[in-house]
Amino acid sequence: MEARVSLRNVRKVFDDGTGKPLVAIDGISLEAARAEFLAIVGPSGCGKSTLLKIIAGLLEPTAGVVEESGRRVSGPPPRFVYLFQQYSRSLFAWRTVIANVMFPLEQTRGARRADLRETCRRYIAQVGLAGFEDKYPWQLSGGMQQRVAIARALAANPDVLLLDEPFSAVDALTRMELQTLVLELCRQNGFTAILVTHDVEEAVFMADRVAVLTQRPTRVAEIVPIELERPRNQLTTRENPRFLELRHHLMTALLGDLAEAGR
């Protein structure tokens, strides 16, 4: 198993100058194999997003390293894309849907604009937004905006998707549609995906492995393999007794941790 992304003893300490440094992440080692879907769950405020931003090269770890196929990451790696929880803030309000999707491609040298537009149309069709190319983000619903963000991510030709609670701000039905869409895109393209979420069911439904984090200072409490068969189905997978067992196990782990913190 070749690691596409690996973290070794990553620590993050925030020093706000008050003399009491805040240890957000206290030594985390994790690996995501090529084409693996890794989910990271943890109580809120445990530094999940901080961890993902470190993986994305948006934040520097205080200690430890992040490696991309064995090479040390410093700065955002070109083949990583990041899907933000706040999709509406991540989209460019002044650009139409197709111009948003075009954004990562505009740096391509020697390409004809008409060809690029055609490529973008394909991505937009893949996320189910054909016909909305010339709308502005604010003319679309939340779920559709996140689809635009996904299409824009595809245009960057990634092989690693970093998903920062990307479905937490949409309604339940839309969330299921988007989960299935992302799983389908991962299957088609062989993406490696790292999903940060507080939704245990989402983690079990989507991932090959789920890493459970503790409260701050954050460590990995355990890693649970999810051996449910693929492709996963929103009805049958969620009704599978094994799904419920895994959900129960992870919930217990998380709640137990909260109980610890409250004592």
Partner 1 sequence: MKEKHLAALIGLASLMAVIGLWEYASDHRLANPALLPPPSAVASALVALIADGDIWQQLLHTAALFAGSYLIACTLGIAIGVWMGCSEFANGLLEPLVESLRPIPKSALVPALFLFLGIGPLTMVTVVVFAAVFPVLINVYQGVRGMDPVLGETARTFGCSRWRTIRSVVLPATLPAIFTGMKVALSLGIVLAVLAEMLAGQSGLGFIILDTQRAFQTDQMYAWVVVLAAFGAACSLLFDRIERLAIPWHGR
Stretch binding partner 1 (CB under 8 A), from 39-47, 61-69, 131-139, 246-254: 131-139
**Using CB under 8 A, which of 93, 111, 130, 223 touches partner 1?**
93
Determine which residue in the list 76, 122, 135, 187 makes contact with partner 1, applying CB under 8 A: 76
Residue in 103, 174, 181, 208 binding partner 1, rule: CB under 8 A: 103
Residue 78 in contact with partner 1, rule: CB under 8 A? yes
CB of 76 to partner 1, least distance (A): 5
Cβ of residue 27: shortest distance to partner 1, in angstroms?
A: 25
DSSP readout, the chain? --EEEEEEEEEEEE--SSS--EEEEEEEEEEEETT-EEEEE--TTSSHHHHHHHHTTSS--SEEEEEETTEEP-S--TTEEEE-S-HHHHS-TTS-HHHHHHGGGGG-TT--HHHHHHHHHHHHHHTT-TT-TTS-GGGS-HHHHHHHHHHHHHHT--SEEEEESTTTTS-HHHHHHHHHHHHHHHHHHT-EEEEEES-HHHHHHH-SEEEEE-SSSB-EEEEEE----SS--TTHHHH-HHHHHHHHHHHHHHHHHHHHHH-
- 135 contributes a contact to partner 1 by CB under 8 A: no
14 touches partner 1 by CB under 8 A? no
Convert residues 153-172 into a mask of x (bound to partner 1 by CB under 8 A) and - (unbound). ---x----------------
Contact status: 17 vs partner 1 (CB under 8 A): no
Among 136, 181, 217, 247, binds partner 1 (CB under 8 A): 136
Is the CB of residue 121 less than 8 Å from the CB of residue 130?
Answer: yes
Stretch that binds partner 1, among 25-33, 136-144, 193-201, 228-236 (CB under 8 A): 136-144
The contact set with partner 1 (CB under 8 A) reads 53, 56-58, 75-76, 78, 80-82, 84, 86, 89-90, 92-95, 103-104, 106-107, 136-138, 156
